[in-house]
Every structure is written in C-alpha cells, then in structure tokens.
Structure 1
Amino acid sequence: MAVAPPTGSRPGWSRRAQYGLFFGLLATVGGVIVGLILLALSLVAPERYATVRGAALDATAPVTGGLRAVTTTVGGIVTGASGYWDAARQNGELRRENTAMLQRMVEAKAIHLENAQLKAALQLRERTREAVATGRIVGSSYASPRRFAVLSAGSGDGVEIGMPVRAAVGLIGRVIEAGHFASRVLLISDRANIVPARLLRGGLPVIASGRGDGTLDVRPLEVGRNPFKPGDLIVTSGTGGLYPPLVPVARIIRLDDDGAIAVPLADPASASFAIVERPFEPAAQQAPPTPPAPPPPKRIPKVLR
C-alpha cells in the first residue's frame, strides 16, 4: 500500500539545500553572538577590546592590503587607459591645429608674394611712360611646343595686337590676339618669337629665340667666338621698334657650340601681374618730315600779235 507524501514537502527541495540553509543560519547566529560579545567587551573592558581590535586588524591586514593592491592596479589601468585616450585626443587636436597653421602660413606667404608682385607691377607702371594696361596672368601653356599666356586685359583696356608685355622682373612676350576682356600673349620662349637683345656685360648685340621647351637660344651676331658665360644677363636692345631697350630678358645657364642656352627671367607660372606697353619707336627710326612739294611753275600766257 502506497504512502501519500506529506503535504508540507516542496518539489525539488534537496538535502544539500537544507544543509546550506542550516549552516547559514548557524553562521548568522554565531555572528550575532560574536558581535554581542565584542559590544559587551568594549563596554566592560575597553583595554581588552583594544587588544582584540588589534588582533583583528593584524588578521585582516593581508586581505586589506591585497584588496588595496587590486584596487590600485585596476585604478591605474583605468587611469592609464583614460590618459592614453586623452593623449591620443590631444595629439589629434595638435595635428589638426598644426595642419591648419601650416595652411594659414602658406596662404599668408602666397598673399605676401602676390602683394609684392602687385607692388612691383605698380611701381613699374609708374616708371613706364607708355604703359597701356595692367593685367593678371590667368593661364599659360607648358606641355606643347607653342608657348602662350592669357592676360586679363583686352581691347577694352586699350590692348592691341603687337604690344609688348613685361613683368616686374623681365620681358614676357607680345600680344598676338586681343579680345575685349582678355588677350593672348606669345611668350619669348616660343619658337616663333625672336627678341633683338644684347649682352649686358659688354653690350654685344645678340638674338634670343625661343626653343619651345621653356628656354631660349641666344646667338651672337658676330660669328667666330663664343662670348657668353654662365650667369650672364641678356637685355633688350631696342632694335626693331617693338621692345623697349634695357628690359631684362634671360640668364645664361650653359654654353652651346657657338651660342648659349638661357632661361627667361619672367616666368608666367610665378608672375601674377604684367604690364602691356606701347611698341617702342626710337627717335632715330622715325622718318624726318617730308618737305612740302614746290608749287608748279606758273605758265606765262602767250601774247597774240
């Protein structure tokens, strides 16, 4: 005959759980009793209680020290990680500030260079009597053998085809096309451009012609010896009635068989402003005024007899 289970039994309640609950209760009761004893001891005999507290301190010191070391280590790790991320953030901010500062320095240098070129162009225009217009070089060709530049001054400013163009540092070329607002300039480094010039050292007449690669071919008019030296300066001679005299043209960089190779002093890539002048016409080349023709002789009428 089967016996019914007691009504107070709990499903799944094990003996191990019962033992754990029992020992937990004993530990709680024991803790309360020890606490009461220590309280009574502190009230009745404070000196003995101090000894007990010292013993308890000695017993818990290693545990407290270990926990303190763990706490310090964890705190150091957290602080180090925080410092690392903060240093990385500050480093990134410094890099961004450095980049922005370098960009501002480059912009400031560009503005300073442009202002210096504009000031030089204005001073050049004040010294030049036949200045027609001042414009900005907005483009130039590099890859093709034909060398041109675009100037932001056109026929509306008085620019005409054939007028010479120069910068503050030297000759640039001559106008070959003139629109209303802009004009096209044939650079002196173009193969189709020939500049009558002379050697500044000694005044020897020479001819400077473009090579199509950004340099000039300089040849003396007198054949027989090579008069050039690296570093010599070439200036315009005024011959031909187009370019005014004593305008810097180029600097000799190396010698050739019977001439030299030179680089233009005025580079359109670095020169921002240019002056357009009227063609130079020396007084010696102007034809003297033609004397008026003598009046025809008067005819004497014949007298009829």
Structure 2
Amino acid sequence: MNAPGQPRGGAERNDASLGVRFALLALACVALMVFDHRDSHLTRVRQVLSVAVHPIRVFVDLPFEVWGSASRSLTTRQALLAENERFRREQLNASFRLQRLATLETENARLRGLLDSTAVLGQRVLVAEIIAVDLDPYRQRFNVNRGLANGVFVGQALLDADGVVGQIVDVGPFTAEAVAITDADHALPVSVNRNGLRTVAVGTGDSSRLRLPYLTNSADIGIGDLLVSSGLGGVFPLGYPVARVLEVRLRPGQSFADVIAEPVSALDRDLEVLLVWDAAKEPSAVVGATVLSELQ
C-alpha cells in the first residue's frame, strides 16, 4: 500500500495510458487524412457512412420540414384568399362598368338617331332631355330641361328619332311642359302618306293609340297606312311620320268610320326629344297656338 499523502501508482499509469492512446489516435487520424488526400481511398467509406446516417438526418429534419411546409401552405392560402378577394372586387367593378357601358351605348344610339333626324330637318333644332313625366294616366304630359333661356316657346314642336312626339304648352325660365300627341286634349293635322288624304289625329289618353274621327266610311285609308304631319297649322314640320293605321271599322248609317292608329315615336320610352324652330317664322307667330284650339 502507498503511504498516506503519496500519489498512487495506478492513477499515474492510467493517465499515461490515456496519453499514449490519444497520441496513437492522433497519429492514426493524421495518417488517414494524408492517405485519403493523396489517393481518395476513404471516399467509399464516407459514402457508406452517409447512407447509414441518412435516416437519422431525415428523422431530425422532419419536424423542421413539416413546420416549414405548413407555414408555406398557410402563407400561400392567405395569399390566394387575398387574390381571390381582389379578383372578386375587380369583377364586380368590371360588371358595373359593363352595365353602365350598355346604358351608354343605348343612349349613344338614341342620340345618333336624333342627330340623323337633325341632319334631315331644315329647321334649327335643339336636343332636350325629359326630366319629369305626369303620372296621371289620363294626361300625356312631360317636362323638358329647356326653357325661355334657350328660346323655347309655346306651341313649339317636339320630335324624336322616329317621328312626331308633341308640342310645348307652357314655358318657364329653364324648363318647359310639353303635351304628347296622344294626350286626350291634343289634335294634330296629318295626311295619309300613300295618297295625300288629309285628316286630324286626336289623342286618346293612351300612349299607344290615336283616333282619326273625321274620316268618312268611303275614305281611302287602310290598315298599315303611314300617317305623316301635313304641315297645316304651322306647328309641326311637313312630312314627318306620326302614326300607322291599326284598325279601320266602317260604321254603316253613320257619317264617319272608326279609325285607330299607333304612334311611330316611342312616347313611353323617350329620354330625349328634339325642339324644332321654323326658320321662316318668328316664334311669336305660333305662341299660344295649338291645333286643337284651331279646330274648336
């Protein structure tokens, strides 16, 4: 036994053997590195070791891969939702614009029709917008956005792209009231385009019907005949379409036949009309004059 206080020989031998083993391992590692550097003999060994540890590497990396994939999926889903929402808003805006475009195209077609009518008319004309319509079913009256400031006068004729619409009955500074040719208190001198037969078309209160009460049973008129303005009375331009005959009923034993016609103008759909001036006449010459008052 060793005396107390003296180092034991076994511990010294263990330390020495560990040092020797470390030195041998270091020399072996250096020799392997030099050997591999020169001839690359350990490449195969590294490949085998890489294959052996691959499952461990996959197992260690699996949680990180799953987390990364989930994060990317969540980000992609949020991006897709945001993109879908943006596309939905753009689609709604595009649909709104397309609806407005259809309205504008229809409006442009109406205005082109009015301009074509303007080119045919020899008189000065002005486009007016219908801003209000009388809701009384027995009155065919409406207001336009032109008045004394635009030179509008009482008795002035109104036309649309298809034919005669009516005439002005009351004028304000910036607006005017008009009566349609189908109003029950309105009458319009017309002639049959086929043979020149003159008569008067009277309103019925129905926007789709006119009556010709002053034609005899022997009058040369038939279904489908076109009625045009005769120019009598100096209000409506000569030769503009007014209505087309729908029904002719002879009434034996009475003086006059029952003749019904349909207006050619879109009285219940018009949004714009044409105000017409006769260059050969002063407005004062027709102020307050209506065909119905002349008949009476």
TM-score range (shorter-chain normalised) is: 0.5 to 0.7
Inter-partner Cα distance in structure 1 for 2:278 and 2:268: 20
User: SS at 1:50's partner residue?
Assistant: helix
Matched, 1:134 2:115: no
Partner of 1:218: 211
What is the match of residue 229 of structure 1?
A: 223
Deviations 1:276-297 (A, max 9, x none): 335999xxxxxxxxxxxxxxxx
Change (3 A) 1:82 1:173: same
d(CA) in 2 for partners of 1:64 and 1:74? 17
The correspondence of residues 125-164 of structure 1 with structure 2, limited to 5 A, is 127-128=122-123, 131=124, 134=126, 136-141=128-133, 143-144=135-136, 145-155=138-148, 157-164=150-157
2:73 aligns with one of 77, 81, 92:
77
Unaligned 5+ segments in structure 2 are 1-21, 34-41, 250-257, 282-296
Structure 2: how far apart are the matches of 1:222 and 1:279? 36
Q: Using the TM superposition, give the Cα deviation of residue 171 of structure 1 relative to its aligned residue in structure 2, in angstroms.
A: 1.4
Q: Residue type of the partner of 1:137?
A: E
Ranges in structure 1 where 5+ consecutive residues have no aligned partner: 1-35, 282-305
What SS does structure 2 have at the residue aligned with 1:197?
strand
Residue 140 of structure 2 aligns with an amino acid whose one-letter code is R
Deviations 1:133-159 (A, max 9, x none): 635134242531211232344445554
Are 1:263 and 2:263 an aligned pair? yes
Q: Deviations over 1:6-59 (max 9, x none)?
A: xxxxxxxxxxxxxxxxxxxxxxxxxxxxxx9xx978666574973783364144
Query: Aligned-pair RMSD on alpha carbons?
Result: 4.1
**Matches of 1:279 and 1:162, distance apart in 2:** 15
Residues 123 and 223 of structure 1, relative CA distance in 2, 3 Å threshold: same
TM-score by length of 1: 0.59
Task: Write out per-residue CA displacement over residues 220-262 of structure 1, whole angstroms, 9 at most, x where no aligned residue.
Answer: 71326894435x432112344543431211245x436443341
Asked if the contact 2:160/2:265 (under 8 Å) is kept, the reply is no
| CA distance 1:273–1:51, shift in 2 (3 Å) | closer
Aligned residues: 238
- Aligned residue for 1:25? none
TM-score, scaled relative to structure 2: 0.61
Q: Does structure 1 retain, via aligned residues, the 8 Å contact 2:186–2:203?
A: yes
Instruction: Give the corresponding residue for 2:231.
Output: 238
Maintained 8 Å contact 2:243/2:261: no
Distance 1:275 1:95, change over 3 A: same
CA distance in 2, matches of 1:90, 1:43: 65
The one-letter amino acid of 1:260's match is I
Give, in whole Å, the separation in 2 of the partners of 1:51 and 1:153.
Answer: 95
Residue 87 of structure 2: aligned partner: 91
